[in-house]
Amino acid sequence: MMNDVDFMQRALELAEMGKGYTAPNPLVGCVIACDGSIIGEGFHHKSGEAHAEVNAIHSVKDKDALKRSDLFVTLEPCAHHGKTPPCVDLIIEMGIPRVVICNSDPFESVNGKGIEQLQKAGVDVEVGLLAVAGRQLNQRFFTFHEKKRPYVILKFAQTNDGFLDAYRAEGDGNAPLKVSSGSMARLVHKWRAEEDAILVGQNTVTLDDPVLTTRNWPGKNPIRLIIDPQLQVSEDKRLLSDGHHTWIFNALRNDYCENNLCYIRIDDPDAFQQEIMTYLHKSSIQSVIIEGGATTLSRFIDAELWDEARIITGPMRIGSGVPSPAISGILLSSEMVGPDLLQVYSRV
């Protein structure tokens, strides 16, 4: 027979299925158990659509069984009217006597109000089961609401001897160094599909002419962000000409949008990191993956504006070139992806 931990673990697994589609909402999974067995389950599929609790309740065939069931949910049920009605109202209406919650919700419109309403209605509420796993699942959501900025992921690929690329200059005809394998490229595109935005500096755009889409993985494209203080990127570069959404942070043009391009003025080109983070927070961007180049990565590292670093080390050696930025953090994982070593670090 399954127990409370088993039910909550299943709810966390369900929540993971919405990754890449729910922002700015969190990932939420829900399981309904009766007499030691699961009778209903659901997860939040997409922002604006039904929440996990609603999907789980609707999946239960025998609604009378709800009156003697336990509901397990990874995040505190909402108590406010947003794009959908409050989940607590439906839970109370269906007479569910016990609700087990992984994490309370830091969003100010919820933040304990859902728990309070359930308790006032006589529901037995427990909070904190598998709380560490729940925070890990929704680290983007918690960072956004608690630190008032997006969750920041640094990503770069380096040679075995610690270089991002050979030294290159615009117009010299040298292509970017291909450090990692095709298997890793597909994984990188999967990562892009899971985040709200992707950021690079103007040197990367000028020298590499990247696309920064998820063309090798099914899923949405992140909003592309360029740091280009003096608007030096030429209009024929693909980030400016291929029709996908791109935001250009610059010191010359006041805020305006034209077709797929939005220009956002930054007041201090020499200390843009926090200014950009504040703007992204106001724009409901919960996560951003920074893919280069070396100067941009180093600026965010020096400002301690990062949460996770994904470092890919390929087998080649080049002897000299652009040095990889130095990362000081906690190693979370290390694995081989084809011929490449993938290491993931946390800043704290």
Catalytically annotated residues: 53
Half-sphere exposure of 203 (CA within 13 A, CB side): 12
Tokens of 83: 């794009």
- Return d(Cα 177, Cα 316) in angstroms, integer: 10
Task: Specify the amino acid at residue 113.
Answer: K
At which residue do the structure tokens 């087998």 appear?
Answer: 315
Q: What's the 3-state SS for the chain?
A: CCCHHHHHHHHHHHHHCCCCCCCCCCCCEEEEEECCEEEEEEECCCCCCCCHHHHHHHHCCCHHHHHHCEEEEEECCCCCCCCCCCHHHHHHHCCCCEEEEEECCCCCCCCCHHHHHHHHCCCEEEECCCHHHHHHHCHHHHHHHHHCCCEEEEEEEECCCCEEECCCCCCCCCCCCCCCCHHHHHHHHHHHHHCCEEEEEHHHHHHHCCCCCCCCCCCCCCEEEEECCCCCCCCCCHHHHCCCCEEEEECCCCCEEECCEEEEECCCCCCHHHHHHHHHHHCCCCEEEECCCHHHHHHHHHCCCCCEEEEEECCCCCCCCEECCCCCCEEEEEEEECCEEEEEEECC
Tokens of 175: 């292509």
- Return d(Cα 33, Cα 12) in angstroms, integer: 15
